[in-house]
Amino acid sequence: MAADLPTISTDALIHELMTLAQISAAEPPVVTRVVFSEADMRARAYVKQLCTDAGLALSQDAVGNTFARWQGSQPDLAPVGTGSHIDAIPNAGLYDGCVGVLGGLEAIRTLQRQGFKPRRSIELVIFTAEEPTRFGIGCLGSRMMAGVLTVDQARKLRDSEGNGLEELRTQAGFTGVLESVHVSYGRFNQFVELHIEQGPHLEREKLDVGLVTHIAAPASQWITIEGEGGHAGGMLMPGRKDALAAAAELILVLETAAKSTGADDTVGTVGICEVFPGAVNSIPSRVRLTTDVRDIDGPRRDSVIHALDVAVRKVRERRGVRITTEMINADPPTTSDQAILAALEASAIDAGKSYKRMVARAYHDSSFVSGIAPVAMLFIPCRDGVSHRPDEYASPEWIANGVDVLARTLARLAA
């Protein structure tokens, strides 16, 4: 790819981002767009129209994942994929996900204006429900494409009002059978997702883009400890079964295990610790806590969880308390594809953009797309690392930098 790509139509792209942001269940600039809500359906319609205007061929699967295809000269080859999501948690901003969708579209239009003719088709994807707001599970669309969430599990999903995924998606017009959502490996030849960093590092280091080498994945669980309550004065120390004291041991084991892997990328957190009955003069009889362990290396992450399991058995026996654990999720971390990273790096150099390789520390659709294609992600800065808030912000220049590198990368991968 020559270094002389026409400039990104930044003004048009920002206008589209702002227009999309107006399609919200909350008063703009607050963005609230829950999957299959009226706002989500209007937002999809808007983006689909933009894709049609760009001459892309639309299709959608049974859960609403939407594909806008720019046909290549060899249409039988697996396409190059790009894209992200346009659903938004309540009280969100306008850049998370949308930069990857509308920025991906602008990357395609930029290549079209340049007269580039892709050999492989390029497909822009809008994934259904990256955010867990409605069904309590993140990356619903990409999970189902990869078969990580089975159809049986999907059929059981309900929102807080008891509406099932089946009825909601059919009402939204996605009527195929859910079985057809799962696709096999090779659905895309390669997939690259543009996204805001949702952390402060690129802005702090004044870098234009981040090339994501790994996506760290959380493993999280509930741990419930049942001991014996009683009067804090009346019950003497020998023979006590204090559930909170037992919990304290586990929390410290988690911290020590996460610190002792020798890697900065291992992190372990207890974010919730509910104590029952929660009175000054009452021995805690029951504690419920969550653990969240993340790493870019699956076995290393699991070693922390194993250390915790060992501690659970020891504490249970020594203190005579009941301890039950329930895994909430444990998805594997993702390693980016070296060939896509090389294309991203060459494109950043061509475009004259500063960059570094970095780790993504939140979930993204790409985590699951890695089950059906080689993936990598491209990050742009966001102000103060703020995301999932109305004051989320990425400057037009930052966005244009990302789209520029993405366009050049797509051209390399589709040539």
Burial label, 7 (beta-carbon count in 10 A; 0-12, 13-18, 19+): exposed
| Segment near Zn ion (CB under 5 A); pick from 93-101, 311-319, 341-349, 367-375 | 93-101
In angstroms, give the least distance from the CB of 85 to Zn ion.
Answer: 6
User: Is 197 an interacting residue with respect to Zn ion (CB under 5 A)?
Assistant: no
In angstroms, give the least distance from the CB of 245 to Zn ion.
Answer: 40
User: Is 123 an interacting residue with respect to Zn ion (CB under 5 A)?
Assistant: no
CA distance 397 to 194: 15
Nearest to 414 by CA among 355, 406, 334, 84: 406
* Contacts (Cβ under 8 Å, ≥6 apart) of 227: 240, 241, 242, 243, 246, 283, 284, 285, 286, 319, 320, 321, 322
Question: Residue 140 corresponds to which tokens in the numbers above?
Answer: 């619903």
In angstroms, give the least distance from the CB of 96 to Zn ion.
Answer: 4
| Segment near Zn ion (CB under 5 A); pick from 26-34, 91-99, 283-291, 396-404 | 91-99
Nearer to Zn ion, 382 or 411 (CB): 382
How many binding residues for Zn ion (CB under 5 A)?
2
User: Alpha helix locations (H) across 77-212?
Assistant: 98-114, 140-146, 151-155, 165-171, 201-204
What's the DSSP call for residue 244? H
Strands (E), 181-261: 190-196, 209-215, 217-226, 230-231
User: Is 97 an interacting residue with respect to Zn ion (CB under 5 A)?
Assistant: yes
Residue number with the smallest Cβ distance to Zn ion: 97
Q: Which of 96, 242, 295, 331 binds Zn ion (CB under 5 A)?
A: 96
Phi, psi of 260 (to 5 degrees): -100, 15
In angstroms, give the least distance from the CB of 149 to Zn ion.
Answer: 18
Question: Residue 374 corresponds to which tokens in the numbers above?
Answer: 């080689």
In angstroms, give the least distance from the CB of 287 to Zn ion.
Answer: 33
Nearer to Zn ion, 364 or 412 (CB): 364
| Segment near Zn ion (CB under 5 A); pick from 53-61, 96-104, 143-151, 166-174 | 96-104
Which residue(s) pair with 358 in the sheet?
212
| Segment near Zn ion (CB under 5 A); pick from 31-39, 43-51, 90-98, 180-188 | 90-98
Please give the residue ranges that form the binding site for Zn ion (CB under 5 A).
Answer: 96-97
